Structure 1
Amino acid sequence: MKKYILLLFLGAQLVLRGQSSGLIADDIAVFYPENYEAERHQPSFAIKRELEIRGKIPRQWTLIPQFGYDGENSTVKIDIDEDVDLYGNGEVTGSLRRNGTSVELWNTDNYVYKKHEGKRLYQSHPWLLGVRPDGTAFGVLADNTWKQDFDLKDDIAITSYGPPFRMVIIEKNSPQEVMHALADLIGTIPMPPLWALGYQQSRYSYYPSDSVRYIAREFRKRKIPADVIWMDIDYMDGYRIFTFDKQGFPDPRKLNRDLHKLDFKSVYMIDPGVKADEDYGIYQQGTEGSHWVLDQSGNAFVGEVWPGDCVFPDYTRPETQKWWASLYGDFMKLGIDGVWNDMNEPAVFDSDNFTMPETNLHRGGGDLPQDIHRRYHNVYGMLMVKASREGILKASPGKRPFVLSRANFLGGQRYAATWTGDNLSSWEYLKLSVPMSLNLSLSGQPFNGPDIGGFSKNADGDLLAHWTAIGVYFPFCRNHSSKNTTSQEPWAFGETIEDASRKAINRRYKLLPYLYTLFRKAHTAGTPVMQPVFFADVKDLSLRGEEETFLLGEDLLIIPQWAERPHLPGGKWETIPFEEEQDDYQATVKLRPGAIVPIADEVFQSTEDYNTRKIVLLINPDEEGKASGTLYDDEGNGFGFEKGIYSLHRFTGSADDNEVRVEIKQTEGSRKLRRVYKIGYIHDGLITYSDWSADEVITLSLEK
């Protein structure tokens, strides 16, 4: 802390005399400015339940917000020590460490991140994680949806173009503890369907429907695992949402049925812009139900998007949310598996700011008050995906919904996964994708990833292979490219690139038992699936800025081939020998000392084939010869897991010079499967296997 002790003390007293500041949990405080108006901010979009004061803020509390308000704009300043490392702010460009940066939280359709110097992107996360040199950590949450800026060039300075807002500050012993506290405040991701963790192929656009079938058949013929094919806007009739082009997609039900026969799932895009067409049923319904956002004169706002002139649902209205959800009923009955909500910043082409005017009116209803678009802009996408998810769930109540959203807000992980928007096919953007996804992960959104291969411009084979070789370890794993660009399916650049891509994707499917277990941890505790390397040793300051390598969970270290002199955690991390022959593309994957990681014995061509009947336990004992790990398993879809129909197994290992021993115990759940295991003991880059066993204790003799 800057040592202005007297000033800090006086500042603290001013804040603590505010109307309701106090502790809401151990080491979590909420601070209110004296002129806070709850109706201008509540109910909160980020925080899932209203805050309850449980105690006074202790005098030794050091992070004290200093509030300001000039009658129009609000400010918050928090003094921090110069040696604190800052992370988060959600979807951001630039370095992993956010010190010295500034961002503008105003959701913006930002093609290849070039507008506004890359400081405005598609999502807004008013959240920061701070880590001190001793490994203790704090979190700063501005509970504010209004247009706002974060300036981290000195201390933490927030400027909001709206009324005064409250601040929540978390103090914990480690960044991991802060992430768990954040999850308790803003919620976690819902448990995804297993198929959403598979490799996914997309393009703007696969057209006509026979080209979709061709792509699916090629994956199966070439033995490249994949689970999903995506439909961009060209499947629609004139870009009218919830319709199909009669020439290109004459029978979507049959297309989806054909994909299912090949063990593929389908995801279709739905945008918020509704074509203003008097002969179009969705427009007729929305107009009759008064469902549109209004301009400042009280008329339905009209703006240009892909279909031409469009109107936009006002998702602040409960009636509109219900109507929007109802539109998915017949749509999902066509055999559609997932939905992609795009352009929902919302993007508007014929506007200086590429969105609707800040003075537009949202009428609200229920818990949400009427207010201008400046208040609701950053949560427009979040409200959309919430209604979409509810509609998909109602249409298919026995299945876990999957929604992908381009725009979102802090807390929106409760409704949708995300990706990092329209990136570029270049080495710069490949390398940028790692810190982008890490900062999203450190902002409560663990289900995220980039467009593998890059969306805009032409990829080449070398770039695609390297991007696939690292992209298979991102939580969300999708290859996506734009119109008028080179095709970038795994086979598009010849046998060498195809083989490299196949090897990488095979690895992801072998790691599915471990990856699915990580998603369960994200669902239950908010633990990031993709983690920065400094999580391995929060006191090793050399790791704080490492942004080429990353952790998958806490047990696997991912090192790209292209990483230059990366800073790696100490200890004897062992390299996992996935293949007998190495190529020039595959990432090095290292197993943490003291870890046991469950992987599949075989490579599945899709998650339809996935099972945990035969599991290999990769083990790397620590210096004391100890190791541990877990395996989560359920039905892969549906909600039986909420009734206890799942299994959680814990593995406890020990090793000495003569023997490796692993004890297996089911600790949770009623799901009972006949399963066999074998140990894969990794030492000095070599792997030694035990025999298969169904016993609760497996041993591997090391005697020669």
Structure 2
Amino acid sequence: MILSTIVIALWGFISFTTADSSNSTTDAATTSYVPIFQNAIPPALTIGVEQLPNINNDSAVDANVAAKGYSVVNITNTARGLTGILKLKSATNIYGYDFEYLNLTVEYQSEQRLNVHIEPTNLTDVFVLPDELVPKPKIDDDYDFARSDLVFEYDEEDFGFEIVRSSTGETLFSTKGNPLVFSNQFIQFNTTLPQGYAISGLGESIHGSLNEPGLVKTLFANGISNPIDQNDYGVHPVYFDQRYSSNTTHGVFWRSSAPQEVVFEETSLTWRSISGVIDLYFFSGPDPKDVITQYVSQIGLPAMQPYWALGYHQCKWGFETIDDVIDVVDNFKKFDIKLEAMWSDIDYMDSFKDFTNDPYRYPTDKYRKFLDDLHENNQHYVPIFDAGIYVPNPNNATDNDYEPFHLGNETDVFLKNPDGSLYIGSVWPGYTVFPDFLSNNTQEYFNILFKDWYNRLPFDGIWADMNEAASYCVGSCGSGRYFDNPVQRAGYRFSDQNSYPKGFNVSNATEWSSISKSIAATATSTATTISTSSSSSLSIDAKNTLAPGRGNINYPPYAINNMIGNHDLAFRQISPNATHADGTLEYDIHNLFGMLEEKAIYHALLSFRPNKRPFIIGRSTFAGAGKYTGRWGGDNFADYYMMYFSIPQAFAFGSFGLPFFGVDACGFNGNTDMELCSRWMQLASFFPFYRNHNVIKAIPQEPYRWEAVISATKTSMDVRYSLLPYYYTLLQESHVSGMPILRALSWQFPYESTLSGVDNQFFVGDVLIVTPVLEPGVNYTKGVFPGNGDIYYDYYTHERQNFTTGKNETLDAPLGHIPLHIRGGYIIPTQEPGYTTTESRQNPFGLIVALDAKGRASGKLYLDDGESVEVEESLNVDFVASNNKLVGSSFGQFKVDQPLANVTVLGVDSKPEKVLFNNNTAHFDYTNKTIFIVGLDKIVGNGTFNKEFTINW
């Protein structure tokens, strides 16, 4: 998109007519638009007070050294645990005023779950996370208390506690020997850890899957583009501790929405919070997948996605007009590249205002026809939605005609300042307000506006962006200034993206030679690109002071390491002192904003499509958000290191209960190139959410832009679409159990310590192992294939591989090829791929039977109508192969008309004399120890999976 057009979108329109003496009429071809000058947000309003994070302050008091802790003064046993009173030994008031008395409650909630809850006896001015915002795990009704695998032990004089695994006697968590600190704005406890621990979780951050000694994790929702090792968009306060000494894994979840900080040291973990209470949940496992499902089943099982969500999605920020979007859809068809869903960034909006479309560039009639055409072709459309609602200028009648603000203002659904006035920040359109999801009227407000929007432009899902929630100024900067609207975001730049990925000059030599001078003149390091500096002066003593009651809200006495800009909690975020309808401060629930918005959108979509699964992809999430939304990785960078990090990102979000995850293939920020995009389009094809998206002013990166990327993309898309039945079965497994779709090797083989932290490979379910190329300029990759005696087959050739357990194998991987292997012992349902998921579902099925060393295999298939929230009819098919026989057993009422057309059996040592399908002779070929059974549809007809069948060979 060119600069002039963007400025028009920001600033409004004036039309004028080109003089033409031969024709006095005006038509669209002679009408142009020039920008009206408007104010920009004053730069002073965008600069916060620079904070010095305590972890970077050598003079900061060490609470472990200074605090005196608590002692136990009373303990009472209960039917499911105990209660007690803790008394402060001596006040130190380090980073807040210490509470003198605390209530301790311990609940044995199930055989695998234990809760430790500590809060002040006087809860005045203490925030306790309400159950209706984040449901609290409850005691199981029918478990044997005596069989709990977790045991709580404590010391009385210097209070500390341990969680011990009863089956092994191993201490899983211990605060003994370190004082508990509990004040109005600072909570801290520590646990000892074994040397060489393997702990994952505690997101969101761009990091490998393991948290090493020396790492500090900040848990505070932040709207910056994928900073390395710093706080990012979402908050998930849970970790998973995998111990190879005992071959067990347990989990720890702090149910708190407060800003938090976690410090990893050689043999300890320190966990801090600047709000709330202690509400810890321990999950016993004992295997990694056990712990994940135990955790996810308590925070909320993931929403079942519609079938079409598994197709390929395309987006770009910078589609200037609806014609640009139409051209992209047409080009996908022209090059015969599958396209399921087209997306729009903020380009479609009228001056970037939610619930609008630009009347000139995206006129409603043409926009609507485009959507109707998409739907006629069984394709889908997803627009972006931002958290901030524009505040119109009351002095401008045209600008003031913005119903989403007026309706919200009249029904009192927006966040307030402490004095009761509207909290007015700034996002894309100018000064904005923000919905308050604790207001009783906000859900109905969303119901009305989303329904009206849908009736005008029938979208198929919503992309919830900027919902940390981001604000481009500090505090309520629009108070008294909204009559300047529309205003331009301060510091906004439309410069071309001149950076290219590592190795660009090698693999893209011709292109490189023409732009190298430009890059040399403008290139900046990644660190510069992803950080924001501030010219404000350092101020900690004057601001970070103790205060009674709720305390110092905007500048807490303990400064967490909020990475953005100058560490001010209000910088590019809603200010901590913004106030909700019930008096709750944003300070306490900032980390929940994204999830609460996603929940409101989910129910708004259901309000007018009551039995269609809402499709939502969000940017900021919290524990339990998976009930409403999927996730994408945010604004990543077009470089190989980000492609690598997408794998541990996927592991993390799978463990957080958000299995429907993907990243912007080929990279969002910066320019991609042919090689990177080719590799990334293939890697992303195995992620549950598969989308390509990039930033404005970067070169276009739709896969048809390069011949090599076309070829690579088609290859991987055919594999993905043929595996849609398998992926949909995994979606349903996640929905009912919480099991991630993409799985770390260390989860699959939890007793093999050499797999700890392997982030360059992953399993799709239990069956497929993907080994991508993650660096430029190579035609090979390396990976391990674990399991003592496990068999692996090449997906493409069906040949059994001669891998050595524990060896780092070198795999051929020329450009356009991504190694994919099938683990023996499993059966994969497939379907002939079509251009869309709808076409694919109408095609014949297949089965890939990968036999293990004993000639056995098993698998599952789940199908339903692909869209209903309340599934009334479904079909489950179990496949079992052994002794040269395959049996398919089905149960359920959902009818599948498509036939089973072919079955491929891998690992058959000798050619069979014949193959029988239900005693009917079937045609087959035998090559490389593989039986190819084909033409079954001619034997069995339609509806093979509706009844039991057998195949013998």
TM-score after normalising by structure 1: 0.91
Report the 3-state secondary structure (helix = DSSP H, G, I; strand = E; otherwise coil) of the residue aligned with 2:705.
coil
- Indicate yes or no: 2:781 matched with 1:567: no
CA offset at residue 13 of structure 1?
Answer: 11
Deviation per CA, 1:179-224: give whole Å up to 9, x if none. Answer: 1211220111111111111110000132311111111112122211
Letter in 2 for 1:63: L
* Distance verdict in 2 for CA 1:256–1:34, change over 3 Å: closer
- Supply the distance in 1 between the matched residues of 2:837 and 2:391 (Cα, whole angstroms): 41
Question: In structure 1, what is the equivalent of residue 795 of structure 2?
Answer: 576
Among 344, 347, 357, the alignment partner of 1:231 is 344
Shift in Å at residue 593 of structure 1?
Answer: 1.7
Could you tell me which residue of structure 2 aligns to residue 41 of structure 1?
Answer: 129
Could you say which residue in structure 1 is the equivalent of 2:278? 165
How many equivalent residue pairs?
676
Deviations 1:483-529 (A, max 9, x none): 00011101112x22211111111211111010000000000111101
Cα distance between partner residues in 2 of 1:327 and 1:265: 21
Indicate yes or no: 2:223 matched with 1:109. yes
Deviates more, 1:473-482 or 1:250-259: 250-259
Provide the aligned C-alpha RMSD in A. 2.5
Partner of 2:906: 682
Counterpart contact for 1:272–1:346, Cα < 8 Å:
yes
State how 1:534-683 maps to structure 2 within 5 Å.
Answer: 534-562=746-774, 564-570=781-787, 571-577=790-796, 584-600=815-831, 602-611=832-841, 614-639=844-869, 641=871, 643=872, 645-655=873-883, 660-673=884-897, 675-683=899-907
Question: Does 1:63 pair with 2:172?
Answer: yes
Change over 3 Å in CA distance of 1:378–1:214 after alignment to 2? same
Which residue pairs with 1:257 in the alignment? 372
Q: SS where residue 371 of structure 1 aligns? A: coil
AA aligned opposite 2:900: V
In the alignment, is residue 354 of structure 1 matched against residue 572 of structure 2?
yes
Contact 1:32 1:165 in 2 (8 A): yes
Match of 1:20 in 2: 105
Q: Give the superposition deviation at 1:421.
A: 0.5
Within a 5 Å distance, the mapping from 1:686-701 to structure 2 comes to: 687-691=930-934, 692=936, 694=940, 696-699=948-951, 701=953
The aligned amino acid for 1:393 is L
Query: What is the CA distance between 1:253 and its match in structure 2?
Result: 1.9
> Which AA in structure 2 matches 1:265?
H
Decide which of 219, 222, 234 is 2:335's aligned counterpart.
222
AA of the residue aligned to 1:182: Y
Q: Say which is worse superposed, 336-345 or 291-300, in terms of deviation.
A: 291-300
Distance 2:716 2:734 in 1: 24
Residue 125 of structure 1, aligned match among 232, 236, 256? 236
Pairing of 1:128-139 with structure 2 (within 5 A) = 128-133=239-244, 134-139=246-251
Equivalent-residue separation in structure 1 for 2:385 and 2:898 (angstroms): 42
> How far 1:91 moved relative to its partner?
2.7
Q: What amino acid does structure 2 have at the position aligned with 1:190? A: A
The secondary structure found in structure 2 opposite 1:141 is strand
* Residue of structure 2 in register with 1:32 after alignment: 117
Paired residue secondary structure (2:704): coil
Q: Is the CA contact 1:535–1:554 (under 8 Å) kept in the aligned structure 2?
A: no
259-268 vs 166-175, which deviates more? Answer: 259-268
Indicate if the aligned counterparts of 1:546 and 1:567 stay in contact, CA closer than 8 A.
Answer: no
Equivalent AA in structure 2 for residue 125 of structure 1: H
Deviation at 1:639, TM superposition (A): 3.5
Q: Which residue of 2 aligns with 1:3?
A: none
SS at match of 2:638: coil
Q: Does 1:505 align with 2:505?
A: no
Q: Secondary structure at the match of 2:272?
A: strand
Q: Deviations over 1:635-674 (max 9, x none)?
A: 1112462x2x11010000125xxxx421000134443545
Give the 5 Å matches for 1:370-519. 370-493=583-706, 495-519=707-731
* Distance 1:261-1:12 versus aligned 2 partners, 3 A rule: farther
SS in 1 for 2:888: strand
Structure ID, larger Rg? 2
Paired letter, 1:322 = E
CA contact (8 A) 2:332 2:704 kept: no
TM-score after normalising by structure 2: 0.68
Of the candidates 201, 205, 208, which is equivalent to residue 318 of structure 2?
205
CA distance in 1, matches of 2:820, 2:869: 33
Report the counterpart of residue 342 of structure 1 in structure 2: 465
Q: What residue is the counterpart of 1:533 in the other structure?
A: 745
Asked whether the 8 Å contact 1:99–1:152 carries over to 2, the reply is yes
Is the contact between residue 500 and residue 583 of structure 1 (CA under 8 Å) also seen in structure 2? no
Give the Cα–Cα distance (whole angstroms) in 1 for the partners of residues 666 and 314 of structure 2: 11
Please state how far the C-alpha of 1:20 moved relative to its aligned partner: 2.6
* Cα distance change on mapping 1:578 and 1:474 into 2, 3 Å: farther
User: Contact 1:647–1:669 (CA<8 Å) still a contact in 2?
Assistant: yes
Q: Distance in 2 between matches of 1:463 and 1:12?
A: 63
Does structure 2 retain, via aligned residues, the 8 Å contact 1:653–1:662? yes
**Segment of structure 1 superposing worse, 482-491 or 117-126:** 117-126
Relative distance call for 1:298 and 1:173 in structure 2 (3 A) is: same
Residue 640 to residue 313, structure 1, CA distance change in 2 (3 Å): closer
User: Separation in 2 of the partners of 1:419 and 1:360?
Assistant: 28
The 1:142/1:110 distance shift into structure 2, 3 A limit, reads: same
Residues 565-620 of structure 1: CA distance to partner in whole angstroms, max 9, x if unpaired? Answer: 333313211111179998523221111121011111x2211112122652221111
Q: Report the Cα distance in structure 1 between the residues aligned to 2:270 and 2:72, rounded to whole angstroms.
A: 16
Report if the CA contact (8 A) 2:833-2:843 is conserved.
no
Q: Which runs of 4+ in 1 moved over 3 A?
A: 10-19, 36-39, 44-67, 561-565, 578-583, 667-674, 683-687, 693-701
Contact 1:576 1:682 in 2 (8 A): no
Q: 2-side partners of 1:292 and 1:674: how far apart? A: 51
- Whether contact under 8 Å (2:234, 2:622) holds in the other structure is yes
Distance (Å, rounded) in 1 between the aligned partners of 2:174 and 2:348? 50
Distance 1:579 1:478, change over 3 A: farther
The 5-angstrom pairing of residues 83-94 of structure 1 reads 83-94=196-207
Q: Which runs of 5+ in 1 are unaligned?
A: 1-9, 365-369
CA distance in 1, matches of 2:736, 2:349: 38
Gaps of at least 5 residues in structure 2 are: 1-70, 76-80, 85-103, 153-163, 166-170, 395-399, 475-567, 775-779, 800-811, 909-927
Determine the structure 2 residue equivalent to 1:177. 290
Alignment match, 2:427: 305
Say which SS state the counterpart of residue 105 (structure 2) adopts: coil
Structure 2 distance, partners of 1:12, 1:513, is 59
1:612 and 1:553, CA in 2 relative to 1: closer, same or farther beyond 3 A? Answer: farther
1:521 matched to 2:733 = yes
| 1:648 partner letter | N
Provide the C-alpha distance between the structure 2 equivalents of 1:254 and 1:311, rounded to a whole number of angstroms. Answer: 32
2:454 to 332, 340, 362: 332
**Contact preservation (8 Å) 2:108, 2:139:** no
1:48 and 1:463 map into 2 onto residues whose CA distance is: 44
CA contact (8 A) 2:371 2:459 kept: yes
Letter in 2 for 1:458: N
Greater mean deviation of Cα atoms: 679-688 or 69-78: 679-688
Q: Is the 1:259–1:265 Cα contact (8 Å) retained in structure 2?
A: yes
Retained in 2: the 8 A contact 1:91–1:437?
no
Letter in 2 for 1:149: E
Given that residues 225 and 509 in structure 1 are in contact (C-alpha distance below 8 angstroms), is that contact kept between their aligned partners in structure 2?
no
